[in-house]
A = this chain, B = another copy of it.
Amino acid sequence: MSATRPTLKLTHSGALQALDGALRKAEELGVPQNITVVDEGGNLLAYVRMDGAKLLSRETSMSKAITASSHRQPTSRLDPRNEIKLAIAGGGRLTNLEGGLPIIIDGHCVGAIGVGSGTGEQDVEVARAGLAAIGAEDQKP
Contact = CB atoms under 8 A, between A and B. Distances in A.
Contacts of A54: 70-72
Interface residues of A, number: 70
Copies of this chain, how many? 4
A41 B23 CA distance: 22
Contacts of A56: 42, 66-67, 70-71, 90-91, 93-94
Dominant SS among interface residues on chain A = mixed
A56 B43 CA distance: 10
B85 A97 contact: yes
Interface of A: 1-18, 23, 39-51, 54-60, 63-64, 66-67, 69-72, 82-97, 105-106, 108, 110, 134-136
